[in-house]
Structure 1
Amino acid sequence: MQIHYISQENSILNHFLGQIRDVNVHHDSMRFRRNIERIGEIMAYEMSKTFSYAPVDIQTPLGTKHTTQLADKQILCSILRAGLPLHLGFLNIFDNAENGFVSAFRHHTDDENHFDIVVEYQAIPDINGKNLLLIDPMLATGQSMVAVFNRLMQRGTPKEIHLAVVIAAPEGIEHLNRHLPENVHLWVAALDEKLNEKNYIVPGLGDAGDLAYGNKL
């Protein structure tokens, strides 16, 4: 797996990352969603530098401009519900992309420290020969990402596969390294320290879905 760390150099990205972590800002769910969306736009721009482009002639009112445009179709696929604001940021950049949505959640057994990943709802277009961008803001254990990835691969063979996460734990990255092919690209906005005993990212930011859309039962 090829890993791209985006926040290693100072940019406005780090400003937005700081705000989504700040407990003094967490009461403002609209700002949280908008900042996640902005982070998605920045990540999409950085990712776009690695894609294939084709030459094209554009007719202007005064002449013809020789330039380039994306050569491949993109599919944005987010993991519900936390992935929706990040998805929107990517869609603002890749505005002609097709879109897919998958639900995945932790199902705890009698032991609260152990859980299975349940993948249920799926609404996915044809992925064959296209660039698949799998989007989820938090990469904790990595089990959800691998479970969704495996389910999607049953549907076809993309040209390229890119995973986009805002905050990742080292344990999650290691899990992806062990279970995903070498040609997969992982894009990480921020790498955090570790997982705690409940498999939450530290320092992290809390539950991204709850911060974006309110607490769930």
Structure 2
Amino acid sequence: MVIHDLSKQNSILNTFISEIRDVNIQKDSMRFRRNTERIGEILGYEMSKSLTFKPSKIETPLATCHMQLMEQDLVLCCILRASIPLHYGLLNYFDTAENAFISAYRRHKENPEDFEILVEYLACPNLDNKTLVLADPMLATGQSMLATFEALKPYGSPKAIHLISAIGTQEGVDFVNRNFPENAHLWIAAIDETLDDKNYIVPGLGDAGDLAFGKKLQH
């Protein structure tokens, strides 16, 4: 896997990451969603540089303009629910992309430290020979990304795979690196130190889904 850690270069991306982390700023859920959306836009822009382009002719009112335009068919996969703002950021830039939606969540067992990833709802177009983009703001253990990828396999074989995350851990990065194809790409804005005993990223930011949309009903 090719890993693109954008935190290694200073940019305006640092501002948006710092604000979704800040315990005071993140109390504003609308601002949290918008900042996550802007992170998706920046990660999508960086990802676009690695895609395939082809020569194209554009007719302006005065003459013909020759440009290089992206030729790949993208499918943006949103892992519900935390990924919705990140997904919108990507869709802002790749407005002709197809979209897939999947629910993947942790179901904890008797030991709170043990959990399994459950995939329930899934809607996806055909993936054959397309570029699949999996978006999940938090790459903690990496298990949600892998469970999503496995669930999508019946829908076809993409020619390229890109993972998009705002914040992850080295453990999560290593996990996807081991379990995804060698030619897959990971685009990530920050890699944090570790996971706590509940598998939350530290320092992280908390629960991205709750911060964006409110706390879940506990069963």
Deviation string 1:5-41 (CA, Å, 9 cap, x unpaired) is: 1121111100000000000112100000000000000
| Counterpart AA for 2:158 | P
Report the CA distance between 1:178 and its aligned residue: 2.2
- Say whether 1:45 aligns with 2:59: no
The two structures have a TM-score, normalised by structure 2, of 0.97
Query: Equivalences for 1:11-22 in 2 at 5 Å?
Result: 11-22=11-22
- Say whether 1:127 aligns with 2:127: yes
Alignment check: 8 A CA contact 2:141 2:169 kept: yes
Query: Equivalences for 1:62-141 in 2 at 5 Å?
Result: 62-141=62-141
Aligned to 1:166: 166
Deviation string 1:53-93 (CA, Å, 9 cap, x unpaired) is: 01111000001101111111111001000000000000000
Report the CA distance between 1:176 and its aligned residue: 1.2
Report the CA distance between 1:52 and its aligned residue: 0.3
Unaligned residue ranges in structure 2 (runs of 5+):
none
In 2, distance between residues paired with 1:69 and 1:149? 28
Unaligned residue ranges in structure 1 (runs of 5+):
none
Alignment check: 8 A CA contact 2:125 2:155 kept: no
In 2, distance between residues paired with 1:39 and 1:191? 14
In 2, distance between residues paired with 1:108 and 1:210? 17
Report the CA distance between 1:111 and its aligned residue: 1.1
In 2, distance between residues paired with 1:164 and 1:125? 19
Aligned length: 217
| Partner SS, residue 113 of structure 1 | coil
| Counterpart AA for 1:91 | L
Aligned to 1:181: 181
The two structures have a TM-score, normalised by structure 1, of 0.98
| Large movers: runs of 4+ above 2 Å | none
| Counterpart AA for 2:120 | E
Report the CA distance between 1:43 and its aligned residue: 0.5
Deviation string 1:159-194 (CA, Å, 9 cap, x unpaired) is: 110000100011111211222221111111111110
> For the aligned residues, what is the CA RMSD?
0.8
Aligned to 1:6: 6
| Counterpart AA for 1:197 | D
Aligned to 1:26: 26
Deviation string 1:131-162 (CA, Å, 9 cap, x unpaired) is: 10000000001111111111112221111100
Q: What fraction of aligned residue pairs are identical, expressed as a percent?
A: 58
| Partner SS, residue 126 of structure 1 | coil
121-130 vs 150-159, greater mean Cα deviation: 150-159
In 2, distance between residues paired with 1:171 and 1:9? 21
Alignment check: 8 A CA contact 2:160 2:184 kept: yes
